[in-house]
Amino acid sequence: MLHEIGKKHGTNKCGPLHSFHGESYLHVYERYFGSIRQEPLNILELGVDKGASLRMWKEYFPRAQVFGVDINPVSKAHEEERIRISILSQDDKAGLEELASSAGGFDIVVDDASHINQLTIASFQILFPFLKQGGYYVIEDLFMSYVDYSRVEDKQEFWDGLLLRMQERGVELKQSRTSMTDFFAAKLADLDSRRGQIRFIHFWSMLAVMQKGSST
Ligand SMILES: C[S@@+](CC[C@H](N)C(=O)[O-])C[C@H]1O[C@@H](n2cnc3c(N)ncnc32)[C@H](O)[C@@H]1O
């Protein structure tokens, strides 16, 4: 169902590069979201681009309010009824906190923005406190967490100069998977020690799905 709706709207979340063992990201999400489809949820996706996935969420969750965040101002054009888009960087603490407070928190957060580890982790740290109990936090495209962006030769070509803009903002492009692995290892240690608010972390191919528990 979600996979078919995603195809209709043209998000790459259902394409061959985002599929493994015959299932796309959207088949995976259906397992978590199928039973809450009809609820009046607040859904935030980091990374809007042309708005395909936001329109998919809007159709799949008929009572949801869909929020998008993108650093590129052209994404704002994809706002429509039940889809609100903020032009912010995914590590803009004040901006994201203001958005999250005005929304009243989120039931689902999906990070499909820069896939730069420093920023992915920053978003989680800013937004997890605003995730509602029982809510889901998804990090997509973890294959990118292994890429050292400082080695990308044509930084202007890469995502329309995104890397150069990130560099100007002081983001460290030299990265290794270690930062992401350390991030997950700390969460796993919390889980194993019955500490913290994360109920589970499920690793799928290229994805991590985390659920916030209902109490510690
Ligand atoms: C893969 S596209 C999103 C595709 C969309 N989620 C979909 O499935 O249709 C990634 C987007 O992330 C945005 N982006 C990159 N770096 C960002 C940052 N630091 N903060 C917010 N958005 C960023 C890019 O401008 C781009 O539009």
Q: What is the set of domains in the chain, with CATH numbers?
A: 2-212 (3.40.50.150)
**Would you call 26 exposed, middle or buried from its count of C-beta atoms within 10 A (0-12, 13-18, 19+)?**
buried
70 in Cβ contact with 47 (< 8 Å): yes
Q: Which residues contact 169 (CB under 8 A, 6 or more apart)?
A: 89
% pLDDT > 90, the chain? 87
What is residue 64's predicted lDDT score, i.e. its pLDDT? Answer: 98
50-79 pLDDT, tens digit each: 999 999 999 999 999 999 999 999 999 999
In b/e form, how buried is each residue of 42-77, taking b as 16+ CB within 10 angstroms?
bbbbbbbbebbbbbbbbebbeebbbbbbbbeeebee
136 in Cβ contact with 108 (< 8 Å): yes
Tokens read off for 203: 């690793």
6 in Cβ contact with 24 (< 8 Å): yes
- 13 in contact with ligand 1, CB cutoff 6 A: yes
- What spacing in Å lies between the alpha carbon of 191 and ligand 1's midpoint? 30
- What spacing in Å lies between the alpha carbon of 10 and ligand 1's midpoint? 15
- 53 in contact with ligand 1, CB cutoff 6 A: yes
Q: Which amino acid is at 202?
A: H
- 45 in contact with ligand 1, CB cutoff 6 A: yes
What is residue 216's predicted lDDT score, i.e. its pLDDT? Answer: 55
Q: Ligand 1 pocket test: pick from 17, 49, 158 the residue with the most ligand atoms within 8 Å of its Cβ.
A: 49
Closest CA to 138 of 165, 103, 111: 111
- What spacing in Å lies between the alpha carbon of 69 and ligand 1's midpoint? 8
- Across the range 86-97, mean pLDDT stands at 97
Q: Which amino acid is at 163?
A: L
Q: Give the per-residue SS3 of the chain.
A: CHHHHHHHHCCHHHCHHHEECCEEHHHHHHHHHHHHCCCCCEEEEECCCCCHHHHHHHHHCCCCEEEEEECCHHHHHHCECCEEEEECCCCCHHHHHHHHHHHCCEEEEEECCCCCHHHHHHHHHHHHHHEEEEEEEEECCHHHHHCCHHHCCCCCCHHHHHHHHHHHCCCCCCCCCHHHHHHHHHHHHHHHCCCCCEEEEEEECCEEEEEECCCC
What is residue 160's predicted lDDT score, i.e. its pLDDT? Answer: 79
Tokens read off for 45: 């996706």
- What spacing in Å lies between the alpha carbon of 13 and ligand 1's midpoint? 13
149-177 pLDDT, tens digit each: 999 888 888 877 888 888 888 898 899 99
Task: Determine whether 3 is an active site residue.
Answer: no
- 49 in contact with ligand 1, CB cutoff 6 A: yes
